[in-house]
Amino acid sequence: MSTALARPAVSTDELKQAWLAVQAGQFRNGPRRCGNSPGGSRSGPEGVWEPTEPILPVVGCHGGAGATTLAVAVASGPGTARVIECASATASGLAAAATAELGDSNGWSRGSRDQVLLERATATVTRPEDLPLPTMPTRPMGLSVLDLSCELGQLLAGSTWLAEHVRNAPTIIAVTSATVPGLRRLEGIAALLQGVVVVAGVVGPRRSRWSRGLTATAGPRTRELDRRGHLVDIPTDAALAARGLDSQPLPPALLSAAATLRRLARADIDEKDLPS
């Protein structure tokens, strides 16, 4: 009797991922080293992520700024898109956002809402190096939105796949609150991202209703964003703020602001030059 181990069955999902990887040319130069871990590929200095779709980072200037909610709103525009939440499973803002759960794959839990694919880490992530490489989607994506909640200075000092894509992003969306600390954090983020086009969403009252003290807090980089039309008001929605991001439809005012930010970020190229 043969002692050879039985070969495990290959799922349809795995076959689709393999075929998309072949179409993307990922096997033309031999195997790529991405590190190994029980939960999937790790990033680290040798980790490489080469998506075929455009990448748009959304950076929260401070905790609770609303980066995850805005990332979902930005991805909810026309065409196919996904949100990759770059945070620990214990701090996920996407846990209740999906209308359908699609299971786990390579360290990521996947769900969907309309045409948007949602991906969140399944393990505790204490540093950017712990974040697995994103999965290969089973269908072509017009855009991948990176939801960033880590400290940006620490991230940019590293050599992970995430740091590489943030450094090389032509445009980044920053989101902050219409408060004195929020505007100070936006000014600091804009300083860190010199050389990158930044468009910013400010959650709270419209600028015409800001107090003198709040207006005076805006630094030179924030004022330049305003002068260029890159500072977008995001009205506060009391119901959304109370219940948090869930599977219910997002408020129209938020979707409108997200569409403006997406257009300013020049990310409105859904379905362009994608494989048929």
pLDDT at 20: 44
In the structure, what pLDDT confidence band is assigned to residue 54 with cuts at 50, 70 and 90? very high
The answer, yes or no, to whether residue 200 has pLDDT greater than 90, is yes
Is residue 14 in a domain?
no
Is residue 149 in a domain?
yes
pTM comes to 0.79
The model's pLDDT over 220-268, given as tens digits with 9 standing for 90+, comes to: 999 999 999 999 999 999 999 999 999 999 999 999 999 999 999 974 4
Q: In Å, how far are 44, 54, 72, 111 from 100, measured between CA atoms?
A: 31, 25, 15, 6
How many domains does the structure of the chain reveal? 1
The answer, yes or no, to whether residue 136 has pLDDT greater than 60, is yes
Q: Give the domain range for residue 97.
A: 41-264
Is residue 29 in a domain?
no
Is residue 59 in a domain?
yes
In the structure, what pLDDT confidence band is assigned to residue 177 with cuts at 50, 70 and 90? very high
Spacing of C-alpha 93 from chain mean position: 12
Per the DSSP assignment, residues forming a β-bridge with 173 are 58, 199
The answer, yes or no, to whether residue 40 has pLDDT greater than 60, is no
Is residue 5 in a domain?
no
Closest to 250 (Cα-Cα) out of 57, 74, 121, 55: 74
Is residue 257 in a domain?
yes
**Nearest 10 degrees: Cα torsion 119, 132, 46, 61:** 70
Alpha helix ranges (H) inside 89-211: 152-156, 161-167, 180-192
CB 133 within 8 A of CB 34: yes
Stretch 22-50: mean pLDDT: 44
pLDDT at 272: 42
User: Tokens 């995430």 appear where?
Assistant: 162
Is residue 214 in a domain?
yes
Is residue 12 in a domain?
no
Q: Find the CATH number of the domain harbouring 46.
A: 3.40.50.300
pLDDT at 186: 97
Stretch 147-175: mean pLDDT: 91
